[in-house]
Structure 1
Amino acid sequence: MVENNDAQLYERLSSKDRQAFETLYSRYEKLLFSFAYKVTKDRGMAEEVLQDVFVKLWNGTNTFDSSKGKFSSWLLTITRNKAIDMIRKHARHEHYELQDKDALVSGEKPVDKEVEWREDREMIRQAVSELNSDQQKVIDLFYFKGFSQQKISEKCGVPLGTVKGRIRLALKHLKQTMEKGGRSDYEA
């Protein structure tokens, strides 16, 4: 009978019933946190995921449909998706954080790294502008917007193999351009 009760509590949330929200929170807080922690393997990220899920629940951002399954399964799916998004978001920034840590360990001043990065960024910008428009689009979607290759395929209406080929050719071109510019430490 809990599942039916969950659906009723969810319905009450649409009218911003604080008691219904608190009941659902106390019922699912530990489960969702444990699940988010299992996915992210990071306590801070798991807490952020939990908060985001319940904010979405309160704001009615996602809509539960009892004909499509159980409330708890729906809530776990939202949690899983948010955890994966969080991991992707942090992975994009991790590369830059590692560069900063490497600079501190090697004794280089962060200012030196910043100047070098600005020079590289301009070289990368120039190299990307030399790509054909299809390659520019997949590089933008994949590296700068974080789309998966499958999502790019769907968004652009081209086969997955074509997306992979465009990324591979674009990276090859970028590597060659960077090497010509005196940067031989880039991997494609």
Structure 2
Amino acid sequence: MALVTRAAERPGGGDRSTDVDLMALVRAGEASGLEQLYDRYSRPAYSLARRILGDAGLAEDVLQEVFMALWRQPAKYDPSRGGFSSWLLAMTHHKAVDSVRREETLRRRRAKAAEDDETLIGEAGGGPDIDDQVLTSLQRDGVRRALRELPQVQREAVTLAYFGGYTQREVAALTGAPLGTVKTRMLAGMRRLRDILGGPAFSKLALDEGAGL
């Protein structure tokens, strides 16, 4: 199934069906369910992938990969383990990190074939250091694993902010919870994550990546 509209240009969907309803359509092989989920979540998923990869084309590739995986294996989403939006963004994060690693492998092969590592390193100067990107991605992986230990409502709120970059008001609108409740869930969730992951490294990463917290 082709999802060809660029996420940065795609308008948001106005359909009021729940994510669970749309996933039921996807499981039944109904393309309309996937199209509505794409309308609803392609923009935040694309933004997340681009923030990790720093490249619009690679981010588009990851977005297509995420929704094709959803179409082919819809049973991988388990509603009992959390909201659809947080699950989709977590999958986007995982695939974007995989893309970073693939790009690093390709760069290493090109460097070896060129027989002049110093020249290649000089040509690559000025851009973000790929090793730093992978390290930060691995740190995010640790946070993602720790998120599984949170209660579902805290995990959903923190994931939307941490992985999706949403503000508290936007998280409230997405989850249908009052703003005060969202603030309480996010504060409790962030404190619990800090306890699990231990200290300053997490605090700095959370501040850098979760600007809407």
TM-score, structure 2 as length reference: 0.45
The answer to whether 1:50 aligns with 2:63 is yes
Contact kept? 1:3, 1:71, Cα under 8 Å: no
Structure 1 CA distance for aligned equivalents of residues 16 and 95 of structure 2: 23
Classify the secondary structure of the residue corresponding to 2:28. Answer: coil
Shift of 1:3: 9.6
Alignment of 1:9-158 (within 5 A): 9-60=22-73, 63-99=76-112
Q: 1:76 corresponds to which letter in structure 2?
A: L
1:78 & 1:3 partners in 2: Cα distance? 24
1:111-158 Cα offsets, whole Å, 9 max, x none, are xxxxxxxxxxxxxxxxxxxxxxxxxxxxxxxxxxxxx9xxxxxxxxxx
Q: 1:47 to 1:37 in 2, by over 3 A?
A: same
1: distance between equivalents of 2:16 and 2:113? 49
Q: Number of residues paired by the alignment?
A: 106
Aligned-partner residue type, residue 32 of structure 1: A
CA distance in 2, matches of 1:57, 1:71: 11
The residue number in structure 2 matching 1:156 is none
Distance 1:38 1:52, change over 3 A: same
What is the CA–CA distance in structure 2 between the aligned matches of 1:3 and 1:102, rounded to whole Å? 57
Question: 1:4 and 1:61 mapped to 2: Cα distance?
Answer: 17
On the 8 A contact 2:52/2:96 being kept in 1, the answer is: yes
Correspondence list, 1:171-182, <5 A: none
Q: Offset of 1:97 from its aligned partner?
A: 2.2
Q: Higher helix fraction: Structure 1 or Structure 2?
A: 1
Cα distance in 2 between the residues matched to 1:62 and 1:101 = 45
How much identity, in percent, do the aligned residues show?
A: 32
C-alpha RMSD of matched pairs (Å)? 2.6
Using the size of structure 1 for normalisation, the TM-score is: 0.50
AA in 1 matched with 2:39:
S
Q: Which has the higher contact order (CA 8 A, sep 6+)?
A: 2
User: Is the partner of 2:29 in helix, strand or coil?
Assistant: coil
Q: Distance in 2 between matches of 1:83 and 1:93?
A: 15
Q: CA deviation at 1:93?
A: 1.2
CA distance in 1, matches of 2:88, 2:66: 8
1:9/1:61 CA distance change after superposition, 3 Å: closer
Distance of aligned partners of 1:94 and 1:65 in 2 relative to their CA distance in 1, 3 Å threshold: same
Letter in 1 for 2:109: Y
